[in-house]
Amino acid sequence: MAVAGLDRTAWLAEVAAAGSIDVLIVGGGINGCATFRELALQGVRCLLIDREDFGAGASSASTRMAHGGLRYLENGEFRLVAEATRERNRLLRNAPHAIAPLQVTIPSFSILGGLAQSAAKLFGIERKIPSRGMLMLKLGMALYDLLGRRQAVMARHRMTYAGGVRALLPDLHPAVRGVASYYDAVISHAERIAFELVADGLAANPACRALNHCALLRGEGECDCEPDIAPLKGSN
């Protein structure tokens, strides 16, 4: 990672000569980068290292969705959904250059389908849901909007029934009874968010360091450890 005015070789020598650090963060994924930023803002002297590039694993998630987890509603995990939608809304507010609303549209072939099976699932009775009817989708969307209402920046869900669907999508399967549309978010540049978190931490706390293409060889002691790190071949 290149930082204006600083040389990677000098950073490696500085870390080696430091002797000890307050916190060592191994792994520069989104959690590692976010932890690095938070600790740096609190004045903690920390070191972040990663064997690869920061945020390298983000490219493996091809959908790049920053969603609130609509599917978890069927399992009754309302607290999880509420937390996830709040995080999604914050991302949309704080990083509009990298995250944008994404409209998701779900077709339905029935009105009442899936209600009984879904109700049974909430009580711990596993039932396969063959299809989700319009009423079930309506209830789920309304609850999803409610749980994600804090700091909301997107439009609420909407339901379009048979007549309206035919007008909008005349080539849609004739058995479709309606469609439900709601909004989640898509991350266009997940790696950029990771880099920005690291850059924020470095700017806030000059005593912190972040090194990619750098491996942890060993560590001794539960705290105040002296990490033995080494740059990977060809990364100087």
Same domain, 135 and 72: yes
Whether this prediction's pTM lies above 0.75 is answered by no
* Shared domain check, 180 and 119: yes
Residue 2 included in any domain: no
How many domains does the structure of the chain reveal? 2
Q: How far apart are CA 227 and CA 219, in angstroms?
A: 5
SS3 103: strand
Residue 196 predicted with pLDDT over 90 = yes
Q: Does 236 fall in a domain? A: no
Residues 69 and 47 in one domain: no
For residue 231, the SS3 value is strand
Two structure tokens written together for 33? 């980068």
pLDDT in tens, 66-104: 877 788 887 788 999 999 999 899 989 988 999 999 999
Task: Specify whether the CB–CB gap between 24 and 186 falls below 8 A.
Answer: no
Q: Looking at residue 2, what is its pLDDT?
A: 43
User: Is 38 a domain residue?
Assistant: yes
* Same domain? 72 vs 183: yes
Burial 20-29 (b: 16+ CB within 10 A, else e): ebebbbbbbb
Residue ranges making up the domain that contains 73:
65-187
pLDDT tens for residues 8-36?
Answer: 778 778 777 776 788 999 999 989 999 99
Q: How far apart are CA 15 and CA 40, in angstroms?
A: 16
Residue 232 has pLDDT above 80, yes or no: no
